[in-house]
A and B are shown apart, each in its own frame.
Chain A
Amino acid sequence: MSTAYQIVVCGSVVPDPLQTLEPVNGPSGPALKNEMMLPAILDPWAAHALYEAAHLAQTAPGSKVWLVSLGPKAKLQQVLMTIAQKVLFEFIALDGPASGFTDAAEVAALLAESIQAIPGLDRSKLLLFGGWESASRGAGATLQMVGERLGIADQFQGVDELKANPDGTLEILERIEGGRQQVSSCAGPPALLGWATGRLPEPRNNPHVGMINMRTVMPGLQKAKPVKLSGNGLTFAEVSLPKKLRETRIVKDKPPEDIAREIADWIRAYSNARSR
């Protein structure tokens, strides 16, 4: 008998990675220049988590997926127009900053509160998903703090694969050092999984899925609770772009043999220096 899961995915919006980013000082601390004008996408690793959640829900009848997002309502709406066409989920929004400069603990407190308020949430079926790091703060910290607040002691990060066994146990593959992966067996939900890339490609847009999702996305956005973050004692002394631009020596019109010799000498030079 397969287990029905309640899968809650935490994930928000980030600026499209192809955009130029420039820091500015805002009234409440550092921010990105023209942040609200930058095109946004769903955080890449959170998107993988969402696709994995939807895939798992499809294979376990009776399962349901929620997407919980903290971000500016306008940005969430923009991104959801696309994401909502990919997989089925119910949307829960918090209207607040999605900036990387917010404090993970504060964000975690708000997300945990929203998850606890989901009607009919059953901890014995709960799988909490998200990206293992965001493309904004990139700390890999928020999800664990949400898990702590929800009392989830079985947590996994850098997850590439989840296998739900017929006996209810979960087999989880996590990335560790040196290109290796750790295999763990967990007794079952509740569990928390911070996803890395996973195994699934990005689903194609499906207008039918979009139509179904819009029944909860639009009300979710309308009901989005406005939230403010205080900073939690975090002070930014400086935020800057990396200044160093290298003087690149361009080598052209040289035979491949000469270039190869230069590269081989350069490669060998380090080992010679180290062995002296």
Chain B
Amino acid sequence: MTLMETILFLAHTEADGSLAKPALEALAAAKTLARALADAKLAAGLVGGQVQPAADQIARSGAARFLAVAGADFAQSRYASDAAAIEALCKASQATLIIAPATSRWNRVAPGAAQRLGGAVDTHVAGIAVAGGAVSVNRWYYRQRLEAVLRRAQRPWFIVVDPGGQAPYEGATAAAPVEMIPVNLPESCKRTSVTGLRQPAPDAQTIRPGADLLFVAGAGWTKKQADGQLHVKEAEKLILDCLRLTRASLGGSKSLVDLGSEGQAVLGFLTHLNQIGQTGSTPRHPKGLAACCHGEEPHTVGWRFVNERRAINLDPNCGWARGKADVLYVADAFRVIAKVNELLAQSGNSGDV
């Protein structure tokens, strides 16, 4: 017998009370799932300092109920208060499937909330499908090197959807009736408080998840060039100019990021936060341009979720590009990127490409 599922779209709001793009993508996934399952009910569960703007934003999404835990205690991205809010929303909605966006806030708390509710969780979900009334999800294992399709009998089942996998929900704004779920947060849940954010100055920000282009810098930028000399300062300027002109996000290979701890020349603006691949992130962008990157399969997972890929490398057999990129330019990246920057500057590029 097929279980009648209650799907809860679970999201936290932004500081202005709205929902960000990853949440709207998760809502689109929840809606698609609700349509595919016979008799499934869809509800929305919102957590945040204020929630009405978010509820209004998704008023026409087809959700039958708009439940919320709101207030100053829930504005912060904090495990203890988020877990309490999620627990209350799941119980109030009697959800069997919980679809949530893989934001840092939800990644931190969703597994613990699933444990608290006696449920199961799958994170970094790349796709959800229904066949014969059974829900399956696909996700990657071993750092994006093996792909699996899996099902679970256990409920509630938290499905935390990675951003960038599908188009976000779009719908007209309307007034949504929000059912507030009271949660009295004990003092034991307030031992942690968020005291601030650290972020690079706007002109020094090199990580842009919403960018259309990912620029991947490899260790070759810091090696001796054809003249037998290092040109690290020149490399820094070329890369930063390229990022400024294209508004691209910057990824770096592990070897490049690690050079600093090995006492070698480094690109000053590149940190572990930029690192992609086995021990870094695997960002999703429509396009990727890799320059001076080397390595075989394990290292190339950093751009697995980049749709169109091009690479510049002096080695025509480079494992990073062969079979992985659509185009491999066998050329000196210093000269090519300098010219690319010149052309983009001439055409007045200054925003997202």
Residues of A within 8 A of B (CB): 14-15, 17-21, 23, 30, 32, 44-45, 100-101, 103-105, 108, 135-142, 144-145, 147-149, 153-158, 160, 171, 173-188, 196-197, 201, 232-242, 245-254, 256-257, 259-264, 266-268, 270-271, 274
Q: Are the C-beta atoms of A260 and B278 separated by less than 8 Å? A: no
Most buried by B among A20, A140, A245, A259: A259
> In chain A, what residue has the closest Cβ to B247?
A271
Note all chain B residues with C-beta closer than 8 A to A101: 141, 148
Note all chain A residues with C-beta closer than 8 A to B212: 270-271, 274
> In chain A, what residue has the closest Cβ to B342?
A260
Most buried by A among B141, B145, B286: B141
> CA separation between A20 and B142, bound complex, in Å?
11
Query: Is B229 in the interface zone, CB < 8 Å from A?
Result: no
Task: Among B198, B206, B349, point to the contact of A183 (Cβ < 8 A).
Answer: B198
Note all chain A residues with C-beta closer than 8 A to B351: 271
Query: Is B194 in the interface zone, CB < 8 Å from A?
Result: yes
> In chain A, what residue has the closest Cβ to B206?
A179
Q: Are the C-beta atoms of A178 and B340 separated by less than 8 Å? A: no
Q: Are the C-beta atoms of B278 and A17 separated by less than 8 Å? A: yes
Contacts A17-B298, A251-B329, A271-B353 given; does A180 touch B197 at CB 8 Å: yes
Q: Are the C-beta atoms of A187 and B344 separated by less than 8 Å? A: no
Segment 51-108 of B: residues with Cβ below 8 Å from A: 77-80, 83, 103-105, 107-108
Note all chain B residues with C-beta closer than 8 A to A21: 142, 145-146
Note all chain A residues with C-beta closer than 8 A to B349: 267-268
* B22 CB → nearest A CB, Å: 8
Additional A-B contacts beyond A186-B192, A248-B325, A264-B347 (18; CB < 8 A) = A30-B148, A139-B124, A153-B83, A154-B191, A157-B104, A175-B273, A180-B197, A184-B194, A186-B191, A250-B328, A252-B331, A254-B329, A264-B340, A267-B213, A267-B340, A268-B347, A268-B349, A270-B212
Q: Are the C-beta atoms of A144 and B115 separated by less than 8 Å? A: yes
> Mind listing 9 A-B residue pairs with CB under 8 Å?
A15-B142, A32-B142, A45-B279, A144-B79, A153-B189, A233-B120, A236-B148, A248-B326, A254-B329
Note all chain B residues with C-beta closer than 8 A to A188: 191
> CA separation between A144 and B82, bound complex, in Å?
13
Most buried by B among A147, A158, A270: A270
* B93 CB → nearest A CB, Å: 21
> In chain A, what residue has the closest Cβ to B157?
A233
Query: Is B195 in the interface zone, CB < 8 Å from A?
Result: yes
A-B residue pairs, 5 tightest by C-beta: A179-B207, A260-B339, A141-B111, A252-B330, A144-B112
Note all chain B residues with C-beta closer than 8 A to A44: 278-279
Task: Among A18, A139, A173, A254, point to the contact of B298 (Cβ < 8 A).
Answer: A18
Task: Among B122, B154, B336, point to the contact of A233 (Cβ < 8 A).
Answer: B154
Q: Are the C-beta atoms of B115 and A108 separated by less than 8 Å? A: yes
Task: Among A108, A138, A157, A180, point to the contact of B199 (Cβ < 8 A).
Answer: A180
Contacts A185-B193, A270-B212 given; does A260 touch B343 at CB 8 Å: yes
Segment 125-153 of B: residues with Cβ below 8 Å from A: 136, 140-153
Q: Which of B2-10, B31-39, B175-183, B315-323 contacts A (4 or more CB under 8 A)?
A: B315-323
Q: Are the C-beta atoms of B83 and A238 separated by less than 8 Å? A: no
Query: Is B205 in the interface zone, CB < 8 Å from A?
Result: yes
> In chain B, what residue has the closest Cβ to A240?
B147
> CA separation between A251 and B311, bound complex, in Å?
10
Segment 297-353 of B: residues with Cβ below 8 Å from A: 297-298, 304, 308-310, 312, 316, 321-332, 335-340, 342-344, 347, 349, 351-353
Q: Are the C-beta atoms of B310 and A185 separated by less than 8 Å? A: no
Contacts A17-B298, A197-B275 given; does A141 touch B123 at CB 8 Å: yes
**Secondary structure dominating the interface of B:** mixed
Q: Are the C-beta atoms of B213 and A20 separated by less than 8 Å? A: no
* B289 CB → nearest A CB, Å: 7
Note all chain A residues with C-beta closer than 8 A to B228: none
Contacts A105-B115, A246-B325, A259-B336 given; does A267 touch B287 at CB 8 Å: yes
Q: Are the C-beta atoms of A135 and B278 separated by less than 8 Å? A: yes
Note all chain A residues with C-beta closer than 8 A to B304: 242
> In chain B, what residue has the closest Cβ to A145?
B115
Contacts A17-B278, A160-B272 given; does A240 touch B146 at CB 8 Å: yes
Contacts A252-B316, A260-B339 given; does A148 touch B298 at CB 8 Å: no
* A156 CB → nearest B CB, Å: 7
> In chain B, what residue has the closest Cβ to A22?
B146
Query: Is B246 in the interface zone, CB < 8 Å from A?
Result: yes
Q: Are the C-beta atoms of A239 and B141 separated by less than 8 Å? A: yes
* A149 CB → nearest B CB, Å: 7
Note all chain B residues with C-beta closer than 8 A to A137: 141
Note all chain A residues with C-beta closer than 8 A to B339: 256-257, 259-261
Query: Is B231 in the interface zone, CB < 8 Å from A?
Result: no
Note all chain A residues with C-beta closer than 8 A to B335: 256
Most buried by B among A138, A183, A236: A138
Contacts A153-B191, A267-B246 given; does A239 touch B146 at CB 8 Å: yes
Query: Is B184 in the interface zone, CB < 8 Å from A?
Result: no
Q: Are the C-beta atoms of A238 and B149 separated by less than 8 Å? A: yes
Query: Is B233 in the interface zone, CB < 8 Å from A?
Result: no
> CA separation between A171 and B195, bound complex, in Å?
9
> CA separation between A139 and B121, bound complex, in Å?
9
Q: Are the C-beta atoms of A147 and B112 separated by less than 8 Å? A: yes
